[in-house]
Chain A
């Protein structure tokens, strides 16, 4: 079941790659984060890892609710709901993300262990593959999208991949670390948000390809 949810997460990620509407992208991201929270909960339930509940809750609160709202308000603020033309066109990007998924599986395949049957690794293997693919695809989205805010979003989805990896491999990091990470995430989004806003008002556009004055 976890594997299934993980698969959904991956699908959503690829959907993001395919999706060109900014607001929709944000919503998809929210859904993805929601699913992640679900996964976290289930793992917490099955493997009696109480601290994961907190992680799950934080994920839900932050990634599925707060951040999307913040981002959407930012989008409203700088009113750019319109189309964004990616650097790599959609079919090709879908193809590439497919390739990246296979890379993810290849990488995950190397995680053989004597205690193959033991639960963490077994759910590890598959979800890890998903996690790695999430990471890579998120990374790829940062490269392929022009809009600053999309890059932020991509970065966040990439973080999602990490979160998935963490919970699936090791039932999440130690709690303090987990908290620290979330705190950083929050601040990061704030900082990036402000930067995006500054970019918008300085360059009258969100297109980061315009940011190419510093050379050599």
Chain B
């Protein structure tokens, strides 16, 4: 029932705001919907902590602690974004952005597009986490792409259409690879299960007999899945759509792409990873993952060092974090899995903050290019600018912020393994990435007063920022016990112990 409610709420919210006629109503609907959703997600997490796992419709929907975690994070991000979005789009409307771009279109229609598509988008993501059936999960992930294409082309600029096209095309190809992988998995299970019913693709069923699956097929399947869901997660070299999409989409959407969709894609990957390790042992998967992980972190480096737009900078940061999580998966072991999920959690809480700051700055400067900005934002933006710097440090893994803890855990797992060079290389790359970020953002935030008019007036934008920032700071010193419990259980799922 809970599961159903979780899925139903966003759908309803979407439909309602599609029907709604004025902005305030839509805002209200979204806020209410996502607040309710977050509460339900928390309830689900609690229930999963108690009962171990929840399922309905004889296992069509099922939530173990891993899915519960992903649902919780998705709901959290969605909530944060919906709060921020209110202020963000009002600002846009004040600047007459919509009229400028979409010819003849009124602001309200653009807003309706956002407020009705976002819930669908969220719905799809939740379905990813809750679908027990790998096929359905694929369908859901494909749905996230479809729901978000128009959110990316939201502003209707030439560039945003370009971004949307690349997103759709690359995403489409990637997902068809994922589908191929799914088919092969089904096939390799087929001989074992001898069933043609839905259960043949139910993860909970598959994971039990993964050991007898056909090895070669499973190899191919995992390769295809890795490439497929890797594309969705933006793992190099399938990452190319990310900077474009992130820099063109409206900030709340970009934040959701970076913080929530990434989780869903990795979630899909994890499910198959577990099957693969059960079938082939950890060796095969981890050698692939190490390559792709290091590649992703490495590919981010030059673009972080030499970058002209801070929106794109953020995109590369999330490519780099995707890589880190992939590496964590590769390092394996209980510690690696735990590190990965900690990183997943902390990342999807910290990243939106960074995006919101970037959004405020962009709306303030009317550009996202470094060379157009004169620096010294701290004078005109006494709230956003310092938090921007703080979020940058947080996201580059500087203590006391929480991402350092997860990265440290991951590195410990890495040094626990047989190969020492990947973690060492990872450390070096991370240092360089930090340098790039610090140089760019410090130049933006600090400096003499360029004499811009004061910003940071809009309470929605301001307080969503402050609230999220305080969450980030608190996480650095205190991770709530139940949440850690949930993460630990989820890590056992990843580690294949549950």
Interface residues of A (CB under 8 A from B): 49, 51, 107, 110-113, 115, 120, 124, 135, 139, 142, 148, 151, 155, 158-159, 162, 165-166, 169-171, 173-177, 180-181, 183-184, 187-188, 191-192, 194-195, 198-199, 202-203, 208, 211-214, 216
Contact = CB atoms under 8 A, between A and B. Distances in A.
B142 A214 contact: no
Nearest to A151: B169
A214 B159 contact: yes
A200 to B, nearest CB: 10
Given A214-B163, A214-B243, A174 B158 contact: no
Contact of B201 (A155, A159, A173, A184): A173
A117 to B, nearest CB: 14
B180 A142 contact: no
B253 to A, nearest CB: 16
A111 B164 contact: no
Interface of B: 133, 135-136, 138-139, 142-143, 146, 149-150, 153, 156, 158-159, 161-166, 168-169, 172-173, 176, 179-180, 182-184, 186-187, 190-191, 196-198, 200-201, 214, 216-217, 220, 243-244, 247-248, 303, 306-309, 312
Given A151-B169, A180-B135, A211-B165, A107 B220 contact: yes
Given A111-B217, A158-B176, A214-B248, A148 B165 contact: yes
A155 B172 contact: yes
B168 A198 contact: no
8 nearest interchain CB pairs?
A177-B135, A180-B139, A211-B162, A214-B244, A169-B187, A174-B198, A184-B142, A110-B216
Contact of B166 (A51, A169, A176, A211): A211
Q: Is the contact region of chain A dominated by helix, strand, or loop, or is it mixed?
A: helix
Contacts of B186: 169-170, 173
B288 to A, nearest CB: 17
Given A51-B196, A113-B191, A214-B166, 12 more contacts: A111-B217, A112-B216, A124-B187, A135-B180, A142-B173, A151-B169, A170-B190, A191-B149, A191-B150, A192-B168, A195-B168, A214-B247
Contacts of A183: 139
Contacts of B217: 111
A176 B196 CA distance: 11
Contacts of A180: 135-136, 139
Contact of A177 (B136, B153, B164): B136
Given A155-B172, A162-B176, A214-B247, A173 B183 contact: yes
A213 B312 CA distance: 13
A166 B176 CA distance: 12
A155 B176 contact: yes
Specify which of B142, B197, B247 lies most central, judged by the most chain A CB atoms within 10 Å of its CB.
Answer: B142
Contacts, number: 132
A120 B201 CA distance: 18
19 contacts: A112-B216, A148-B165, A155-B172, A155-B173, A158-B176, A170-B187, A173-B182, A173-B183, A174-B196, A176-B133, A176-B136, A184-B142, A187-B143, A191-B168, A192-B168, A211-B161, A214-B243, A214-B247, A216-B309
Contacts of A169: 183-184, 186-187, 190
Max chain B C-beta neighbours (<10 A), residue from A142, A166, A170, A177: A177
Given A111-B217, A170-B190, A191-B150, A202 B135 contact: no
B146 A202 contact: no
Most chain B C-beta atoms within 10 Å of own C-beta, residue among A158, A165, A170, A203: A170
Given A174-B135, A211-B162, A214-B163, A142 B183 contact: no
Contacts of A192: 168, 172
Contact of A162 (B150, B180, B247): B180
B139 A203 contact: no
Nearest to B172: A155
Contacts of A177: 133, 135-136, 138-139, 198, 201
B330 to A, nearest CB: 24
Contacts of A165: 180, 183-184
A159 B162 CA distance: 23
A199 B166 CA distance: 12
Contacts of A212: 162
A111 B216 CA distance: 7
B139 A158 contact: no
Nearest to A178: B135
Contacts of B312: 216
B158 A203 contact: yes
Given A158-B173, A184-B143, A184-B146, A216 B135 contact: no
Contacts of A175: 198
Nearest to B189: A170
A199 B165 CA distance: 9
Contact of B146 (A139, A148, A155, A191): A191
Contact of A174 (B133, B159, B166): B133
Contacts of B135: 173-174, 176-177, 180-181
Contacts of A107: 220
Contact of A208 (B139, B163, B165, B191): B165
A197 B479 CA distance: 49
